[in-house]
Structures are given as structure tokens and as C-alpha cells.
Chain A
């Protein structure tokens, strides 16, 4: 069965420091991986996705994520955090062989708090 885990409920970072939000996955075939961000009282917004190709994926707002097949991880990173990055971040996975529309499995979310 497909699953995705975000081991940290909350991540606290000082503004200007690098940030990492962790995600690990489990799928039966090749994984398709996504990161979404949710600001308070808003819907989810797409940040980036890994389908194939380079393991380092660059996305919106200066975020990037590194796909590591051996560790089954897809951690979200940013070199220098901003206070405005404070939000809820979701990792999601789709099995390449799961041919039922665009069904995604979401992690439980990680609350990122960036302090000035």
C-alpha cells in the first residue's frame, strides 16, 4: 500500500537559516512525489514535484526538494528561511502504477514556524 510519512509535526527555524521539512514514502512502483503548502484559512498550493530525472527538484518561492531513492525520502529544503514561509507543508505521493486518476496520498502535514 502507498503511504507517506512526515515525521515532524512542527519545525522551528530562525529567519535566514536553512530549513528542511522531512518526508519519507512507501510505494510499490516508481514514486511520483509532490510538496504542497497551506497558508492559514487557505487551500493547498503546489510547490514542486518529482516525476523523473534530476534528483534535485526546484520549485516555487525558492524551495527545492531532494529525491533519494535508497532512503525513500523527498525532503523539502530552502537555503534561507523567511518569516512568510511559516505555513503547513504537505508531502504527497502517487504510485506510477496506480492508474486511478490523479489519486494522491498525503502526509499528515508539518507546521513550519520561522521566527524573526
Chain B
């Protein structure tokens, strides 16, 4: 059971280049999330998905797109990278909690992708 995996681990881009970060989970979780972590700012939610084929914006969605074509995968795309997108990106997943209050289950995080945009 690998949990949540992310590829690549490191990447350096030039301004204007594009790339896709891949997140995969083998826990059959419904919910998946993309966060970015910047010094002194904690983690901020970029986009999330509550199931296959669905995506939604988080706190800082601008400049990013996502897709959830398969339940186990959640892709984060940067169409035209900017230096402000230099960050560490974390993917996470969680089960769907039944009952009235959804999404309260533990989020499991991947090891992160360190992205530098020059």
C-alpha cells in the first residue's frame, strides 16, 4: 500500500513553460486535494475534487488547472509558469464521511513536489 504518491519530486521551469504534476492514491479515497506550501504561510488549498470527474476551486486557484479523470489520480497543471508559483506542492486524499458532515476524515499527504520557476 503506497498511500499517496507524487511525481516528479523536483522540477525547475522557466517562466512561461507548462507542466503537469501527478498525484496517485491507492486507498480508494473519494476526495483529493492540491495544496501549496510557502514559508510562513502554512498550506493553502489550490483545487480539490470530491469524486471522479469533479473538481472545484480552493483558496488560490489562479494559474492552475486540475483534472480527475480517474478516481485514483488527480493532476495539477500549470499552463504558463510564473516565478510566483515557486513552491512546494502537496497532494492529499481522504475518504468520504457518511452522514451530515462530510469530509471530516483524515487527509493523507504525499511527499511533495518542489517546483522552482526561474
Q: Which of B43, B90, B102 contacts A101 (CB 8 A)?
A: B102
A87 to B42, CA, bound (A): 14
Question: Are the CB atoms of B48 and A94 closer together than 8 Å?
Answer: no
The A24-55 residues at the B interface (CB cut-off 8 A) are 32, 34, 36, 41-46, 49, 51
Task: Tell me, yes or no, whether A103 is within 8 Å of chain B by CB.
Answer: yes
Question: Are the CB atoms of B45 and A107 closer together than 8 Å?
Answer: no
Question: Are the CB atoms of A49 and B42 closer together than 8 Å?
Answer: no
A45 to B56, CA, bound (A): 24
Task: Tell me, yes or no, whether B106 is within 8 Å of chain A by CB.
Answer: yes
Task: Tell me, yes or no, whether A20 is within 8 Å of chain B by CB.
Answer: no
A49 to B107, CA, bound (A): 11
B15 to chain A, nearest CB (A): 26
Q: Which of A43, A49, A96, A107 contacts B106 (CB 8 A)?
A: A49
The B75-118 residues at the A interface (CB cut-off 8 A) are 90, 92, 94, 101-112
The A75-106 residues at the B interface (CB cut-off 8 A) are 90, 94, 96, 99-104, 106
Using a CB–CB distance below 8 Å, which chain A residues touch chain B? 9, 32, 34, 36, 41-46, 49, 51, 90, 94, 96, 99-104, 106-109
Using a CB–CB distance below 8 Å, which chain B residues touch chain A? 4, 31, 33, 35, 40-45, 48-50, 56, 58, 90, 92, 94, 101-112
Q: Mind listing 28 A-B residue pairs with CB under 8 Å?
A: A9-B40, A32-B104, A34-B106, A36-B109, A41-B111, A42-B111, A43-B90, A43-B109, A43-B112, A44-B107, A44-B109, A46-B108, A49-B106, A51-B101, A90-B42, A100-B56, A101-B50, A102-B31, A102-B94, A102-B102, A102-B103, A102-B104, A103-B33, A103-B45, A104-B45, A107-B42, A108-B40, A109-B42
- The 10 A-B pairs at the shortest CB distance, nearest first, are namely A102-B103, A43-B109, A106-B42, A106-B43, A44-B109, A108-B42, A46-B106, A101-B50, A101-B103, A43-B111
